[in-house]
Structure 1
């Protein structure tokens, strides 16, 4: 794998755009978040405009020059849309292909036939965990959402009963299990063993995903009883299809990005030589963009042709698939802009400065620092990188098992309570058709349960390792 040290990241970090002290920065963070929540919930302003105005308030209260605050926001928006936006677009096209060809119906019919009633949430968490093993969280969301929404709609299930287990499976894999970027950076920073961390990560992940997924979804479904939003379900073309693709080819098309990304991760681990031709090839074909693009192209032959689609219908299908996601792209991008402004104002560094003198056990310290940075910046990756850099000296003299647990404590803390400064919060809100309070009561609490349960299990394991 490519080594990425915290020292390199720190050296590349830009100077904060404001010289405000800790107290002023803290007030600025609270003011920015309060404005966003108030504009959305009280004044019903669109989330994109609310995030933009909240960012300007954050910069103003922090004493940042307006031009620099705007530059931070636009940089974060552009970076987020460039990274996540293309994936969302490709996922939307693939979802539309699945819907119009009848492939999604084939998958949903099979799931409903094989796993019904009480077993459905368990089936969804298993599917999400397997798919989420090599995937970035956002890629997993765009792949799974059409299936989640259609299962909920066709099976007459509560959306939260089906959606929360799927989100929990993706999130747990993202935060705790290598080869995801966050755990890999933390492993490198503290000098942990990849294999041991992977084994312990899976051990912690299993009970965590059960509690945060199928178990919590029972309560989430009572708190927020909403149907699957019709506008986000890929609608099949009006004509009835005489034939549709088989289950095997449809499943293979959906899993192709998973296989390509997992192959890249395994090659990176086994070869670990950036100059090696094989690794370079897999780095390309296993990138999220190429993997999803390959799935779309393969879908033309495995989904559309078996359903009788000619080439003249491909362009209109793509246009119909992209139309519903314009608002999502802007909202998710604005969430990334707000997050980047927080980081550029020095909020992450503020948390590090405040926490560096805390005198508590290393594992708990790592978890708390990651929690604080996650709450302040909204970024699980920033929380992981920053916390790993701070606690890395504590790994001196630790056993192999203890350093692995240190990585997992950081990963668990980085998932704590996603809220309005996290682009993932807006991604879930828009795809599930929720409002801000509903998203807080479901997605945000689910993330907190993952963080607390995983952190507790890490502390328990430390008693025997």
Structure 2
């Protein structure tokens, strides 16, 4: 297992922008995070504004010159958006094409047609996992939960028995598997390899979804027995589509970027020669931006044109996919600015100095930090980005695989115990027609199971690879 030792950490390559001692830096970090938490949870200020103000307060509390704090924040914001902004945009376009073309419905209907009472929870987990690859969590919920409610109503299924697996599939993909914003931002912050992180993320995601989904849903159905709320069940809106894309074409389009990025990672491991022609090709086609771009371009034909959408309709779909992600991009960018401010005031050096005699699992430490921020702010993305900035020094001199596991440990911690300060908590509560207590017993506990189980698999993998 990777442990935090002084010889594994590198000194900050840049001179800190403040001469504050460790005590003042520690207080500054606590104050900055406290302000961030207070603004998000108490005053309901948008996470972008909260992260911006929190970064300025962090720098001021550390005694740094305001001009230098602003420079650190804007530098981190720009670098983060440059690193992940295009990927988030491409993922949003692919998700919107999937929804508007009827491709998502095709996947759902095809799998459900082959499911029975015993296999239905597994089918819902599979659907959510596939759909959740290119979609943001909130989009996935809006897309899938109405289907879950309709299936539960018409098939007389326990809502928790099939709803929990769907939520687990979406949540695990959101927290552990790029190209979702949180994992992408963490990969950028600790300089991890995206292909390796993706491969390990999928490897950990599968058993985690099984345990937190179909297995845990047995207990959730006993604890909370509710029927789908009639107010939330409505017939699907009529579509002006002449046809829907085929199941095979839809699945191949969704999985194309995953396959290309995995191929790049596998070739790098097997060949390990930058001059090898095969590795040079996979380095290009497996680059995240190329892989996602290829899937989007393919989707224009296999999803859009296959559904009978004309050029104007496809253009509107693409336009409509970009506007909703503006807020996400700003949050991710501001999180990068917060992270850079943490680094520039010398938090990395402080962690190094304090850790000289430690023998603590770096992966466990990253998970605990992400858990604390998640519980305080309610945002998995904010928790991932902030924790990645705090533990970035731990990645120095780590192997490629352990750096990827560090990212996954952060992602696992960011999913811990969603509660009343999380927008997802209220979204699930309202869709399922549950009380706050019922939502805690099901959704909140499910999120905790995901976080703890995935950490267990991460620590296990760290012993093997």
TM-score, normalised relative to structure 1: 0.69
Query: Which structure is richer in relative contact order (CA contacts within 8 A, separation 6 or more)?
Result: 2
What's the secondary structure of 2:306's corresponding residue? coil
Question: Could you tell me which residue of structure 2 aligns to residue 23 of structure 1?
Answer: 23
Q: Shift of the alpha carbon at 1:295?
A: 1.0
What per-residue deviation string (whole Å, max 9, x for no partner) do you get for residues 105-151 of structure 1? 1112123334476755544655777899xxxxxxx453787555422
Q: Shift of the alpha carbon at 1:79?
A: 2.2
Question: Could you tell me which residue of structure 2 aligns to residue 142 of structure 1?
Answer: 135
What per-residue deviation string (whole Å, max 9, x for no partner) do you get for residues 290-335 of structure 1? 1111111111221122222222333222112212222222122212
Are residues 1:317 and 2:331 paired?
no
Are residues 1:57 and 2:57 paired?
yes
Question: Could you tell me which residue of structure 1 aligns to residue 340 of structure 2?
Answer: 340
Q: Shift of the alpha carbon at 1:56?
A: 0.8
Question: Could you tell me which residue of structure 1 aligns to residue 394 of structure 2?
Answer: 387
The unaligned stretches of length 5 or more in structure 2 are: 1-5, 150-158, 179-185, 374-382, 417-421, 430-435
Q: Which moved more, 1:275-284 or 1:108-117?
A: 108-117
Question: Could you tell me which residue of structure 2 aligns to residue 165 of structure 1?
Answer: 169
Question: Could you tell me which residue of structure 1 aligns to residue 380 of structure 2?
Answer: none
Check the 8 A contact 2:368/2:413 in 1, yes or no: no
Check the 8 A contact 1:371/1:416 in 2, yes or no: yes
Q: Shift of the alpha carbon at 1:13?
A: 3.0
Q: Shift of the alpha carbon at 1:18?
A: 2.0
> Using the alignment, how far apart are the partners of 1:9 and 1:277 within structure 2?
35
Check the 8 A contact 1:76/1:337 in 2, yes or no: yes
Check the 8 A contact 1:73/1:341 in 2, yes or no: yes
Check the 8 A contact 1:367/1:413 in 2, yes or no: yes
What's the secondary structure of 1:14's corresponding residue? coil
Q: Shift of the alpha carbon at 1:21?
A: 1.9
Q: Which moved more, 1:438-447 or 1:31-40?
A: 438-447
Residue from 414, 418, 421 that aligns with 1:418: 414
CA 1:111–1:335 in 2, change beyond 3 Å: closer, same or farther? farther
TM-score, normalised relative to structure 2: 0.69
> Using the alignment, how far apart are the partners of 2:295 and 2:286 within structure 1?
12
The unaligned stretches of length 5 or more in structure 1 are: 1-5, 133-139, 175-179, 188-193, 393-403, 421-427
Check the 8 A contact 1:107/1:250 in 2, yes or no: yes
Within-5 A mapping of 1:276-295:
276-295=276-295
> Using the alignment, how far apart are the partners of 1:89 and 1:172 within structure 2?
19
> Using the alignment, how far apart are the partners of 2:271 and 2:398 within structure 1?
29
Q: Shift of the alpha carbon at 1:61?
A: 0.7
Question: Could you tell me which residue of structure 2 aligns to residue 101 of structure 1?
Answer: 101
Question: Could you tell me which residue of structure 2 aligns to residue 137 of structure 1?
Answer: none
Q: Shift of the alpha carbon at 1:80?
A: 2.2
Q: Shift of the alpha carbon at 1:249?
A: 0.9
Residue from 145, 157, 160 that aligns with 1:152: 145
Check the 8 A contact 1:371/1:413 in 2, yes or no: yes
Superposed CA RMSD: 4.8
Q: Shift of the alpha carbon at 1:162?
A: 2.0
Question: Could you tell me which residue of structure 2 aligns to residue 77 of structure 1?
Answer: 77
Question: Could you tell me which residue of structure 2 aligns to residue 304 of structure 1?
Answer: 304
> Using the alignment, how far apart are the partners of 2:286 and 2:42 within structure 1?
44
Q: Shift of the alpha carbon at 1:85?
A: 1.9
> Using the alignment, how far apart are the partners of 1:328 and 1:75 within structure 2?
18
Within-5 A mapping of 1:60-459:
60-115=60-115, 119=119, 122-123=122-123, 140=133, 142=135, 146=139, 149-156=142-149, 161-168=165-172, 171=175, 208=208, 210-212=210-212, 214=214, 239-358=239-358, 360=359, 364-371=360-367, 378=384, 386-387=393-394, 389=396, 413-415=409-411, 417-418=413-414, 445=448, 448-450=451-453, 452-454=455-457, 457=460
